[in-house]
Amino acid sequence: MRKTELQISLRNLEHNLSVIKSKTTSDIQAVVKANFYGLQLEKIIEILDPQVESYAVITLDEARALRKLTKLPILLLQGAHENDDYEDIKQLELDFVLHSSWQIKGIDEHNLTNNRLWLKVNTGMNRLGFSEQEFSEHYNLMIKKNFKDIVLMSHLASSSDSSNKQNQSQISKFNKITNDMSSKKSLANSGALFNYPKSHFDIVRTGIALYGGKYHEFGIKSISCLRSKIISIKKVSKGETVGYDGAWRAEQDTHIAAIGIGYGDGFPYFSEPYNVSINGNTYKTVGKTNMDLITINIGNEHKINVGDWVQLWGYETNLTELSKSFHSISYQLLTNISRRVAKNYLE
């Protein structure tokens, strides 16, 4: 059996949830889109379900899979992508976002009184959401449609940056627009949870902080460890090259270990040396990442054997800093891990 796995620490997940809850008195919505940020469903649900108010996903397929595991509210973050989606929204009893006028037609064609509507206003991020005038008009219209509940929402553009003035501008604008509306409100994501307490309102939507991809400075821990076993050790003589295009040439006699993981498993493509850990010691990769293999220069270390684990990142790894070496972000590191990498949960 191929030994490549993403270990997931449920203890660290519980820790992160406790950190999040210590920062706010608002209800917590767990953002679990992209297959729980690449970490899969069942075990994580067992931890989150008793402690969160709701979940948030992007696709109907995500919602269907999640509905089999929980009775809590599930928010479809982009709402309907076409009018036919409302039949599934109704049947699955999903919360859904209304952000564009074209989506209203589908609402009028279905009885959605058992659903919770999230009405989105654009406060400056300029992706999704109604203008201030449209928002007020649609709010008054939606009140008449007898939804189970209505939540007013927006999204901060730069919440990770506590010095960015746009955040306070957006918070003030959201306050101004929704001040006379009695419905519940939701603005804060993970960054705002830590940096902008006045943005918390009734429901805080946390994603990356749960999974340890950011905010280590606030006590958040990584919940994942990516590792793969050595499947080959080969002697390479001085002057010989390794891998595609002969991208690396040995400057002296050495040994090259190969592990069964590559960009086909979602690990970022690279051609520059990358540090990995074997038996607690650091070694550098050589050559280009393959679809299914990564090669490592282990020198003449005779204590390393086929079957030893190689750690590509661990629980102590700051994924935000690591992602910079790939010109990427921690979100992408986590969500790119493919389904062919085994997910193993540790208590």
Q: What are phi and psi of 320, to 5 degrees?
A: -65, -45
Is 346 within 8 Å of 7 (Cβ atoms)?
yes
The confidence score (pLDDT) of residue 34 equals 84
244 is catalytic: yes
In the block, tokens 């006028």 appear at 101
Angle between helices 132-143 and 165-178 (to 10 degrees): 40
Q: Supply the CATH classification number for the domain 10-211.
A: 3.20.20.10
pLDDT of residue 37: 77
Q: Is 37 a catalytic residue?
A: no
Q: What is the mean pLDDT of the chain?
A: 94
Residue 19: how many other CB atoms lie within 10 Å: 18
Write down the pLDDT at residue 41: 64
0.75 surpassed by pTM: yes
**pLDDT value for 94:** 97
Query: Per-residue confidence at 64, pLDDT binned at 50, 70, 90?
Result: very high
Say what percent of the chain tops pLDDT 90: 85
- Per-residue pLDDT tens over the stretch 124-159: 989 999 999 999 999 999 999 889 899 999 999 999
CATH class name, domain 224-314: mainly beta
Catalytic option among 33, 184, 214, 343:
33
Helices (H), the chain: 10-22, 33-38, 42-48, 60-67, 85-91, 104-108, 132-143, 165-178, 190-195, 208-211, 319-324, 330-335
Residue 329: HSE in the Cβ half-sphere, 13 Å Cα cutoff: 8
Which of 148, 176, 244, 324 is an active site residue? 244
Q: Residues annotated as binding site for substrate?
A: 127, 291
Q: Which residues are annotated as a binding site?
A: 127, 291
pLDDT digits (tens, 9 = 90+) for 218-247: 999 999 999 999 999 999 999 999 999 999
Sheet holding 95-98, edge to edge: 184-186, 149-153, 116-120, 95-98, 74-76, 54-57, 27-31, 203-206
Can you tell me which residue has the tokens 């649900």? 45
**Where are the domain boundaries for CATH 2.40.37.10 in the chain?**
224-314
Domain with CATH 3.20.20.10 in the chain: 10-211
